[in-house]
Amino acid sequence: MIFTAQIKVMPLKNLLDPQGKAVLGGLANLGITGISDVRIGKQIELSIEAENETVAREKSEDAAKKLLANQVMEMYEITIS
């Protein structure tokens, strides 16, 4: 069966996000007001061939830990569908 894993990788809340700060400035320059904070992360979609959802989740966890997220600076969230 083919599962789709959505992995969201975001910078940790208590760390600075310079890319987000740059976008915040850009939005203000474009006249879009009322935005107080911007944080930018990655969204990764995996198509996984696995027997069941548990196996698909394990593979995604493995991929996130070993390659996709740097856990010193980032947190990840996995959704399987």
Mask for 4-43, x = binds its own copies (CB under 8 A): ----xxx------------x--xx--x-x-xxxxxxxxxx
Number of residues that bind its own copies (CB under 8 A): 32
Is 78 within 8 Å of 6 (Cβ atoms)? yes
Q: Is 76 exposed, middle or buried (0-12, 13-18, 19+ CB in 10 A)?
A: buried
Shortest Å distance, C-beta 59 to its own copies? 6
Nearer to its own copies, 32 or 72 (CB): 32
Asked if residue 48 binds its own copies (CB under 8 A), the reply is yes
Residues 6+ apart with CB under 8 A from 79: 5, 6, 8
Shortest Å distance, C-beta 17 to its own copies? 9
